[in-house]
Chains A and B, each alone.
Chain A
């Protein structure tokens, strides 16, 4: 087995850093250790890919906007507020 390869203790220790790595917030020696480990450990690589996919799925959920009736009520509230303030 490669010194960087799959080993339960090492994998467990790196697991807590995977989210930080996926977010690109891991730096220096920590980041190099994760990159080296992923090259030799298919289990952790699959976990990293899964986390990345999960993050992408969540980000797609924002691609929707208000229903037309809710948007209309929101616009009406804004108009009423600005009109009331203008009248003061």
Chain B
């Protein structure tokens, strides 16, 4: 086995574990009275709601509603949760339900996937692209990533929503198979099967 092959799973698991610890630490700190921890937790909850709205539900207009819902529910739940490690699963389930409620109201409208590079209209009416986390990257790197994300968006659009949701939770957000199963409400075996099929379809799109 190559070194690269060996590093992938451990990186993935480490990333997943790191997120769990991150949320759990914020919960514990906020329960202990940290104002800053609560603010960070509430921001992270809204970020998840925003990404889910755009990439899975495909409606930018619903993002604010989903973010508001995630904010209020997180605030109430953070004070009473007994197992902080379970927070992340709860958050994604809550966000998913909030987005589905919004989507049902738009049942006659075709769903679409928004690109992370696609301009979003701001309050002032002007188009605004999403910020990139690392502003120090070279222009050619930014261009390459922009092309990459556009191709991914186009590939995601070809997937059935059931597959898109799995790809989003597992690949983009880095949830474990067990967490995805808990959020979606299917068995871990089904998550693996759907994920494998989705990866094959995505691979075909990305390399085609």
Interface size on B, residues (CB 8 A): 60
Contacts of B32 in A (CB 8 A): none
Contacts of B106 in A (CB 8 A): none
- Contact, CB under 8 Å: B132 / A35: no
Mask: chain A, 6-41; 1 = CB below 8 Å from B; 0 = not: 000000000010111011110000000001000000
Mask: chain B, 176-208; 1 = CB below 8 Å from A; 0 = not: 010000000000000011011001101100110
Q: How far is the CA of A85 from the CA of B72 in the complex (A)?
A: 11
Give the residue among A53, A54, A62, A69 with the most B Cβ atoms within 10 A. Answer: A54
Contacts of B196 in A (CB 8 A): 16, 18-20
How many A residues touch the partner, as a band?
Answer: 35 or more
Mask: chain B, 147-176; 1 = CB below 8 Å from A; 0 = not: 011011000000000000001000111100
Mask: chain A, 46-63; 1 = CB below 8 Å from B; 0 = not: 010011111101111111
Main secondary structure of the interface of A (DSSP, over half): helix
Q: How far is the CA of A85 from the CA of B200 in the complex (A)?
A: 48
Q: How far is the CA of A47 from the CA of B203 in the complex (A)?
A: 9
**A66 in the interface, Cβ–Cβ < 8 Å?**
yes
Q: If the complex has contacts A57-B152, A58-B167, A62-B172, are A73 and B203 also in contact, measured as CB distance less than 8 A?
A: no
Q: If the complex has contacts A19-B199, A66-B131, A67-B129, are A59 and B172 also in contact, measured as CB distance less than 8 A?
A: yes
**B57 in the interface, Cβ–Cβ < 8 Å?**
no
Tell me the nearest residue of chain A to B79, going by C-beta.
Answer: A85
Residue numbers of B with Cβ under 8 A of A are: 1, 4-6, 8-10, 12-13, 35, 38-39, 42-43, 46-47, 50-51, 55, 63-64, 67-68, 71-72, 75, 116-117, 120, 122-124, 128-134, 145, 148-149, 151-152, 167, 171-174, 177, 192-193, 195-196, 199-200, 202-203, 206-207
Residue numbers of A with Cβ under 8 A of B are: 16, 18-20, 22-25, 35, 47, 50-55, 57-70, 73-75, 77-78, 81-82, 85
Show 10 residue pairs from A and B whose CB-CB distance is below 8 angstroms, ordered by the A residue.
Answer: A47-B203, A62-B172, A64-B132, A64-B149, A67-B131, A69-B128, A70-B120, A73-B123, A78-B42, A85-B75
